[in-house]
Structure 1
């Protein structure tokens, strides 16, 4: 399998540097870690780790869904109006 595609991501410099230091201790680069994660996502058809949604945001999304609001993506769910607020 060749490496013929490039992936770019924007991230806070501090987070990148901190992660790079941890990965270097493991003998990996940031590119290695991203490659490993994407290969696992492709193979398992799921994220290789669990994401937690804060209870309030999950409740707001659930409430909005029950009231007929549909979301295009996760970002829309995160910025949904608070329960009880006016749109």
Structure 2
């Protein structure tokens, strides 16, 4: 069995509660979700989704 460690992070309380409600519906724990997330980071060698800045023109802001 792989050696385990603890991950600690500060997040907004409401965000945590909302996410845990979704995870409960999916039938997985927060720890399981974090393990899935980290596994995908390793598999993809990056975040499993695009991280971009919003297009200022589409957001209604002019440059």
Identify whether the pair has TM-score above 0.5, normalized to the shorter chain: yes
- Matched with 1:18 is 18
Cα 1:12/1:33, change in 2 over 3 Å: same
Q: Which string of whole-angstrom CA distances, capped at 9 and with x for unpartnered residues, describes residues 55-78 of structure 1?
A: 34xxxxxxxxxxxxxxxxxxxxxx
Q: Give the RMSD, CA atoms, in angstroms.
A: 1.7
TM-score (norm 2): 0.76
- Matched with 1:48 is 48
> Which is richer in helix?
1
Tell me which moved more, 28-37 or 9-18: 28-37
Paired with 2:37 and 2:46, the residues of 1 have a C-alpha distance of 10
How many residues are aligned here? 57
In structure 2, runs of 5+ residues without a counterpart are 57-62
Cα 1:49/1:2, change in 2 over 3 Å: same
- Matched with 2:4 is 4
Q: Which string of whole-angstrom CA distances, capped at 9 and with x for unpartnered residues, describes residues 2-42 of structure 1?
A: 24111111001100000000010000111111110101111
In structure 1, runs of 5+ residues without a counterpart are 57-82
